[in-house]
Amino acid sequence: MLAGKRILLGVTGSISAYKSALLVRLLVKAGADVQVVMTESAQTFITPLTLATLSKRPVLTQFVANAQTGEWTNHVELGLWADVLVVAPASAHTLARCANGLADDLLSAMYLSARCPVFFAPAMDLDMYQHPATTGNLARLRSFGNQIINAEYGELASGLVGEGRLAEPETIVQTLTAHFSRRPELVGRHILITAGPTQEPLDPVRYISNHSTGKMGYAIARAFALAGAQVTLVSGPTALPLPAPGVRRIDVRSAKDMFDATAAEFPGADLLILNAAVADYTPLHVADLKIKKKESEFALDLTRTTDIAATLGARKQPGQWLMGFALETDNEHANALDKLQRKHLDWIVLNSLRDTGAGFGYDTNKITVMDKAGQTHEFALKSKDAVAQDLLDLVARAMTAPSA
């Protein structure tokens, strides 16, 4: 979402200015075009050469670039060029300047000229951050329509511990990604997603499971959350972190746990995406004690688990949408189409284990999507984040169609 975006990065006088090097690197790596503007005091903490090298653009520091030739920096033009202005770190002094409309340096003049969204990421000692002057300036900047990336809690340069640390560069990049990912048609929609494997217990030690990592479901949750949707993620056991801020995660273990949690959330959902690899069978009896190795052969009695897609598909109300997944090894299209129709789904997303780079464990996936209208959408092998974006686009188009 940051590819091709023009980002003005203002760096001010704070010890955390050293983090701006990593921030520039992350933005450039994401494909953004970054122009750095530094205040005079910022240059005492990190050199313009460092940020120029990383951004691949000369760093701007003064109104007048060359007094002898009359070369000057057009702050108005910069303000019109940018898709977004980010001031990180934003010192108490710069916050006060911008909040009160002062324009005695290039950065503050550029801020007053900017027509694009503006983000401030404060960084200072905790007493400065909590001072009424600073909190008042932050409130004033918010009232102008600017967005504040709140300082974080932790150990500060003074040795004190509290709020005032610059938000980590990854957090700032994620905030900008969410800004550019926002889809008005999805804002406020409740998206319910299942992800990961289930574990069916045999005894207190062992269980039956599968190879699902949850990567695809978590990528989908991240895409919808960044687009502005309200996301609830019902997750089987995985090692993955929360996919995005604001995602509500419900951790479950067994197929029954997943059904119970999903069924409870379903009535309030606009869209249910069933991506989890749920066990079809579970042990009929779970041993209270560890099963000992005695016989040369060992048999398990298994019973069917509740079919979440079929059960909730039958409960679907007008205005609700269901997307299922089918991981197949043979007769792929026929099996997926049968599942689409039999379980009253709106879409079925087909994965084939015959496709290299698709299936469990990979960071990539190759999908074919069939819908209830009889349309088939074929996609090339992509990263799972890109696949999630393709699915989001399909859903967004359907939800905004005249008949939706």
pLDDT at residue 245 in the model: 82
Separation CA 210–CA 359 (nearest Å): 12
Cα separation, 21 vs 51, in Å, equals 6
- The DSSP result for 45-94, as a single string, is TS-HHHHHHHHTSPPB--SEEETTTTEE--HHHHHHH-SEEEEEEE-HHH
Answer yes or no: do 354 and 333 share one domain. Answer: yes
Q: Quick one: 390 and 340 in the same domain?
A: yes
In DSSP notation, 12-41 reads: -SSGGGGHHHHHHHHHHHTT-EEEEEE-TG
What does the buried/exposed string (b/e) look like for 60-99 if buried means 16 or more CB atoms within 10 Å of the residue's CB?
bbeeeeeeeeeeebebeebbeebbbbbbbbbbbbbbbbbb
pTM of the model: 0.74
1: in domain:
no
From 373, 382, 378, select the one nearest 401 (Cα to Cα). Answer: 373
Torsion from C-alpha of 278, 280, 283, 289, nearest 10 degrees: -20
Residues at the binding site are 280, 290, 325, 339, 343
Query: Please, which residues bridge with residue 271 across strands?
Result: 191, 321
pLDDT at residue 249, as a whole number: 97
From its phi and psi, is residue 228 left (phi > 0), alpha (psi between -120 and 50) or beta? Answer: left
Residuewise pLDDT in 10s, the chain (404 residues)? 798 999 999 999 999 999 999 999 999 999 999 999 999 999 999 999 999 999 999 999 887 665 566 566 677 788 788 999 999 999 999 999 999 999 889 999 999 989 999 999 999 999 999 999 999 999 999 999 999 999 999 988 888 899 999 999 999 998 998 888 888 889 989 999 999 999 999 999 999 999 999 999 999 999 999 999 999 999 999 999 999 888 999 999 999 999 999 999 999 999 999 999 999 999 999 999 998 888 778 888 999 999 999 999 999 999 999 999 998 878 888 999 999 999 999 999 998 777 777 777 788 999 999 999 889 999 999 999 999 999 999 999 888 876 55
**Exactly one of 137, 210, 275, 331 is catalytic; which is it?**
210
Among 141, 164, 180, the domain-final residue is 180
Residues 249 and 170 in one domain: no
Same domain, yes or no, for 237 and 337? yes
Domain end among 133, 161, 180: 180
Rounded to the nearest 5°, which phi and psi values hold at 277? -95, 90
Q: Catalytic: 210?
A: yes
135, 192: one domain: no
**Which of 120, 152, 180 marks a domain boundary?**
180
Asked if residues 226 and 186 have their Cβ atoms less than 8 Å apart, the reply is no
Nearest-angstrom CA–CA distance, 273 and 191: 8
Parent domain of 78: 6-180
Structural domains counted in the chain: 2
264 located within any domain: yes
**pLDDT reported for residue 134:** 97
